[in-house]
């Protein structure tokens, strides 16, 4: 039998969240050379020794499959082959003079664009060996040199060996009616609410729709105290992404009075050096609330021992 919760659960607006994954990208020799030379205002491509095809940006392997390529400096002027407008930028496929493929890059500035239009490179004043040292392409001025053939090339600097980059995933986290009511009660009245399973009588915190002890639907909201018992702890010494504070600190599993499940939170007010010997499961703890509550488990700043050691 399905039992609806006995009060109306609140559905908070979604939380904005971002997962950020910083990493270093190794571009390889060809792309590394292309990017490094942009800082010297040179566009570097490759010429295949077998088919003579000139490709830009520089490639490690020709599109014919041959891997004996030589670097060449190609013209910084070319012809617009096609373009697409986006809300924040316009991208174009540009056939640089003497090349056998198109370069995808930005069209720079607020201009009227037309297929077949002559373009010239537009450079950053503060190069950093990255793709946007070449800001993009703009309509060719009177002085633009046309038809320059790819020329022999001597590197002016080391290829870029790696570059800092970051993958960011923006998403909205929907609290849903169960977490929604928990967080809303925490925010508005500093009250912690679990939900009781009508079958096995477990009180689940955080509240949820299905009991994970007996798999029945839960139904009755239940108050849970902000005091409880230390069940286990870890002393965190390592830094990792997503940490809310710098190590070292104590991470504790706490069973709040009235709940049948544990939550994990910080335990403060304990000397880190002494903690391994002196902290024991079974010790009583209490929540320390933040002065300003926003509706999350972070509204509890941390836990501390009721009887200090």
The yes or no reply on residue 62 touching Zn ion (CB under 5 A) is yes
The yes or no reply on residue 19 touching Zn ion (CB under 5 A) is no
Of the listed pieces 46-54, 99-107, 115-123, 220-228, which binds Zn ion according to CB under 5 A?
46-54
The yes or no reply on residue 264 touching Zn ion (CB under 5 A) is no
Whole-number Å distance between alpha carbons of 289 and 206: 17
Tokens for 286? 């209490």
The yes or no reply on residue 3 touching Zn ion (CB under 5 A) is no
Containing H/E element for 28?
A: helix 28-38
| Residue linked to tokens 């836990």 | 303
Nearer to Zn ion, 92 or 206 (CB): 206
**Shortest distance, position 109 Cβ to Zn ion, whole Å:** 35
The yes or no reply on residue 213 touching Zn ion (CB under 5 A) is yes
**Which residue from 33, 113, 45, 111 is spatially nearest to 76, judged by alpha carbons?**
45
E strands, 153-299, in order = 163-173, 192-197, 203-204, 218-224, 227-236, 249-256, 262-268, 284-289
| Binding residue count for Zn ion, defined by CB under 5 A | 15
The yes or no reply on residue 211 touching Zn ion (CB under 5 A) is yes
Out of 43, 160, 197, 256, point to the residue binding Zn ion (CB under 5 A): 197
295 touches 184 (CB < 8 A) = yes
Could you tell me whether strands 300-305 and 262-268 are parallel, antiparallel, or unpaired per DSSP bridges?
parallel
Q: Which residues pair with 284 in a beta bridge?
A: 229
Out of 29, 187, 191, 199, point to the residue binding Zn ion (CB under 5 A): 199
Of the listed pieces 151-159, 172-180, 199-207, 266-274, which binds Zn ion according to CB under 5 A?
199-207
Tokens for 260? 């049948």
The yes or no reply on residue 51 touching Zn ion (CB under 5 A) is yes
Contact positions vs Zn ion (CB under 5 A) = 48, 50-51, 53, 62, 64, 66, 197, 199-200, 202, 211, 213-214, 216
């Amino acid at each position: 039998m399905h039992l609806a919760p006995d009060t109306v659960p609140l559905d908070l607006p979604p939380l904005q969240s971002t997962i950020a994954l910083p990493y270093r990208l190794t571009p390889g020799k060809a792309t590394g050379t292309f990017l490094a030379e942009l800082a010297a205002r040179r566009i570097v491509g490759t010429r295949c020794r077998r088919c003579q095809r000139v490709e830009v940006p520089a490639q490690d392997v020709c599109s014919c499959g041959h891997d004996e390529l030589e670097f060449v400096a190609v013209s910084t002027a070319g012809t617009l082959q096609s373009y697409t407008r986006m809300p924040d930028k316009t991208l174009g496929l540009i056939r640089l003079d003497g090349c056998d493929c198109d370069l995808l890059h930005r069209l720079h500035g607020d201009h009227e664009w037309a297929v077949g239009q002559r373009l010239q490179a537009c450079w950053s004043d503060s190069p950093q060996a990255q793709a946007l040292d070449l800001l993009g392409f703009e309509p060719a001025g009177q002085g633009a040199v046309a038809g320059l053939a790819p020329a022999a090339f001597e590197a002016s600097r080391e290829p870029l060996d790696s570059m800092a980059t970051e993958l960011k995933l923006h998403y909205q986290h929907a609290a849903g009616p169960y977490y929604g009511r928990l967080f809303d009660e925490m925010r508005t009245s500093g009250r912690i609410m679990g939900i009781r399973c009508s079958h096995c009588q477990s009180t689940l915190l955080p509240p949820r729709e299905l009991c994970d002890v007996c798999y029945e639907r839960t139904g009755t909201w239940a108050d849970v105290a902000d005091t409880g018992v230390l069940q286990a702890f870890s002393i965190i010494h390592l830094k990792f992404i997503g940490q809310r504070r710098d190590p070292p600190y104590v991470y504790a599993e706490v069973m709040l009075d009235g709940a049948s499940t544990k939550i994990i939170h910080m335990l403060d007010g304990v000397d880190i050096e002494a903690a391994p010997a002196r902290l024991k499961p079974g010790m009583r703890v209490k929540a320390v609330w933040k002065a300003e509550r926003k509706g999350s488990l972070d509204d509890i700043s941390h836990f501390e021992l009721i009887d200090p050691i």
